Amino acid sequence: MLGTYFTVFDQGSNPKKNVPIEQQRRELAAIAYETNILGFKGPRRMTIIIPGMSSDHHRVEVRPKDNSESLIERWKHNDMSNLLELHNKSPIWNE
């Protein structure tokens, strides 16, 4: 997929620093801007991926150990268990 991707983390540490799991950063959201058929000109589609809620009304923690477990990678592979996917309104070209 072409586009630009961003990830929002909490204040935790990078898991590559070998810190205890309780101190590792959590992913709070991921943002994907996808290009349209015109390339980089014109409106783009935005998708937001956020962790879902557990049965006891707490946010599901996402603490990926590597890139393959990240919100973006899970979304790219349609692994949406315990995740919510939000979209902007369909872009319309404005002349």
- Give 30-54 pLDDT, tens digit per residue: 999 887 766 666 667 899 999 999 9
CATH code of the domain covering residue 37: 3.20.90.10
Q: Which one-letter DSSP state was computed for residue 74?
A: H
The percentage of the chain sitting over the pLDDT mark of 90, rounded to a whole number, equals 49
**CA gap 95, 41 in Å, rounded:** 12
Residue 20 lies in a domain: yes
Residue 80 lies in a domain: yes
Residue 47 lies in a domain: yes
Residue 11 lies in a domain: yes
**CA gap 9, 68 in Å, rounded:** 16
Q: Is 16 helix (H, G, I), strand (E, B) or coil?
A: helix
20: phi then psi, degrees, rounded to nearest 5: -55, 150
Domain count, the chain: 1
Tokens of 15: 């898991």
The domain in which residue 13 lies consists of 3-87
